[in-house]
A = this chain, B = another copy of it.
Amino acid sequence: MNDDRWEAPRVLLAVDLVILTLRDSRLHVLLVQRGIEPFLGAWALPGGFLGHEQEDILAAARRELREEASLSAVPHLEQLGVYGEPGRDPRGRVITVAHLAIAPRLPEPTAGTDAAAAGWTPVDQILSGNVTLAFDHLRIVRDGVERARSKLESSALGTAFCTEVFTISELQQVYEAVWGTPLDPRNFYRKVQSIPGFLLEDGPPRRTGNGRPAKTYRSGPRHDLYPPMVRSADGPADRGAE
């Protein structure tokens, strides 16, 4: 750190949330319509400033999660990164710590204190540029989705999109929605079964809607998957070069 006699600048610290969920087999993110300046009326990620000087950052994120998504039991929450370009906020130097939250299908949110409206928006709508976001929130959403995609490969994060008890085909729908790729149900079935500690069989081995009832599972103790799930590697072409 630096010299003590020199006065270091202070900055405003915010947290923002990329809350992802699945609705009718598509990946959605929670957005709020801003009710205050700046960017009044624009869509933005839910978030807010640190509540008080001693509040923990993760605790602030959880608080916003409760306040803006009325969600008590937090399934998964992790730090995504810091976004703090000077000039990103006209109110002064604001540094925001973005967080990624994964949740099973949540109820339709209601507008909060600073938001004129709130709602689930399909992620592809945002990534394709059809919805414009305030601040640098487009980039944050992009980073959050990419993080979710890659964490699906190496961790049991996919189960966080599901209810506590789920079937393998439900889990498959999660992977298909987040990765945006169709998967072979039979190979998927074999794959997830072969990863030790990923899934635990649940009591009554039946349930479901139309055909043969499926066994039910719950998330196993292993959070880091080994061997990992791998994306089909179909497009080795368009992967980032340079």
Residue ID in chain B nearest A59 by CB atoms? B86
In the assembled complex, the CB of A56 is this many whole angstroms from the nearest CB of chain B, namely 6
Cβ A223 vs Cβ B241 within 8 A = yes
Cβ A233 vs Cβ B241 within 8 A = no
Q: A11-B53, A37-B4 are in contact. Are A226 and B222 (CB under 8 A)?
A: no
Cβ B242 vs Cβ A54 within 8 A = no
- Tell me which residues across on chain B come within 8 A of A211, comparing CB atoms: none
- Tell me which residues across on chain B come within 8 A of A37, comparing CB atoms: 4
Q: How far is the CA of A30 from the CA of B9 in the complex (A)?
A: 26
Cβ A49 vs Cβ B242 within 8 A = no
Q: A10-B11, A13-B9, A82-B97 are in contact. Are A2 and B224 (CB under 8 A)?
A: no
Residue ID in chain B nearest A44 by CB atoms? B1
Q: How far is the CA of A241 from the CA of B241 in the complex (A)?
A: 34
Residue ID in chain B nearest A55 by CB atoms? B86
22 contacts across the A-B interface (CB closer than 8 A)? A1-B14, A1-B47, A1-B49, A1-B114, A8-B13, A9-B49, A9-B53, A10-B10, A11-B53, A13-B95, A54-B93, A55-B86, A56-B86, A57-B84, A79-B81, A81-B81, A95-B95, A197-B241, A221-B241, A223-B241, A223-B242, A227-B236
Chain A residues near B (Cβ < 8 Å): 1-4, 8-14, 34, 36-37, 44, 47-57, 79, 81-82, 84-87, 91-93, 95, 97, 113-114, 197, 221-224, 226-227, 233, 236, 239-242
